[in-house]
């Protein structure tokens, strides 16, 4: 049965501007992952290095089997709204992930073990070796997901590895933030009030070359159905609740 009270579920935050827009659509269905709100390090959900993925189309949502009896969701992150993978991931770190899906998605294939795999057109930097000498390593070490979790410096010693820290060097600053000591830190604003620090490469660095791939995989915390004023969302929530296994279905105001 759908639950209107999400107090015991790590839901994504709503009501604030996101890179893909401000308001959620009444009656629409969203897959959520509240990992960014739980205190868990986002880095444990990243692929470092990102995994190659080159399908014919770079849009929409697909449900795919993993060969072990579980189905997962592959969601293409729109480059128009999130030009760099770090834009999407840092928004998720601060607010959790909320991704609109069709009301006719094959929810019966999803279980508590299902994941959302996020794909992006700029996941992999194919000329990482050319860019490596220009990286401000001392300020980007923490942006390497592998190092953040293991303190293993393998990526730093492999110039051919497309490490996650490269995203933060290639994402251009579009604002500044005070550091508290009177200096200003370059940051990238994804939407109003949502920013993250970046470390730009020098102008002499080669232009980055990209390949699409999988950047992260996160658990599905819940499925949310946004309330309609006429109450018609309740039928959608009830239907999904009857066919999905092990994932809470919530009715949310926005």
Q: Kindly give, in sequence order, each residue whose CB lies less than 8 Å from that of residue 67, ignoring residues fewer than 6 positions away.
A: none
Can you give the pLDDT at residue 1?
A: 46
Kindly state the tokens that stand for 227: 């309330």
Q: List, for residues 71-100, the tens digit of each pLDDT value.
A: 999 999 999 999 999 999 999 999 999 999
233 pLDDT more than 90: yes
SS3 of 51-83: the string is EECCCCCCCCEEEEECCCCCEEEEEECCCCCCC
What predicted TM-score, i.e. pTM, was given to this entire model?
0.92
**Domain boundary assignment for the chain:** 29-252
Give the pLDDT score at 35: 82
Residue 39 confidence (pLDDT) above 80: no
Query: Rounded CA gap, 61 and 102, in Å?
Result: 9
Q: What band does 7 get if pLDDT is binned at 50, 70 and 90?
A: low
């Amino acid at each position: 049965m759908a639950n209107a009270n999400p107090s015991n579920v790590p839901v994504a935050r709503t009501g604030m501007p996101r890179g893909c827009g401000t308001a959620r659509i009444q009656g629409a269905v969203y897959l959520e992952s509240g990992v960014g709100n739980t205190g868990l390090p986002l880095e444990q959900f990243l692929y470092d290095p990102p995994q190659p993925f080159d399908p014919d189309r770079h849009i929409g949502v697909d449900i795919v089997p993993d060969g072990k009896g579980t189905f997962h969701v592959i969601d293409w992150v729109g480059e128009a709204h999130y030009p760099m993978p770090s834009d999407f991931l840092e928004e998720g770190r601060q607010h959790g992930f909320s991704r609109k899906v069709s009301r006719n998605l094959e929810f019966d294939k999803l279980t508590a073990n299902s994941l959302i795999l996020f794909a992006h057109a700029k996941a992999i930097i194919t000329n990482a070796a050319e860019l490596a000498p220009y990286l401000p390593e001392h300020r980007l070490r923490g942006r390497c997901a592998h190092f953040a979790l293991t303190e293993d410096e393998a990526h730093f010693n492999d110039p051919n590895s497309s490490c996650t820290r490269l995203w933060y060097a290639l994402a251009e600053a579009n604002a500044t933030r005070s550091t508290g000591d009177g200096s200003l830190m370059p940051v990238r604003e994804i939407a109003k009030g949502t920013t993250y620090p970046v470390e730009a490469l020098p102008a002499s660095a080669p232009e980055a070359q990209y390949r699409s791939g999988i950047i992260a995989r996160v658990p599905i915390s819940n499925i949310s159905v946004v309330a309609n004023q006429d109450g018609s969302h309740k039928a959608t929530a009830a239907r999904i609740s009857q066919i999905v296994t092990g994932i809470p279905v919530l009715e949310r105001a926005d």
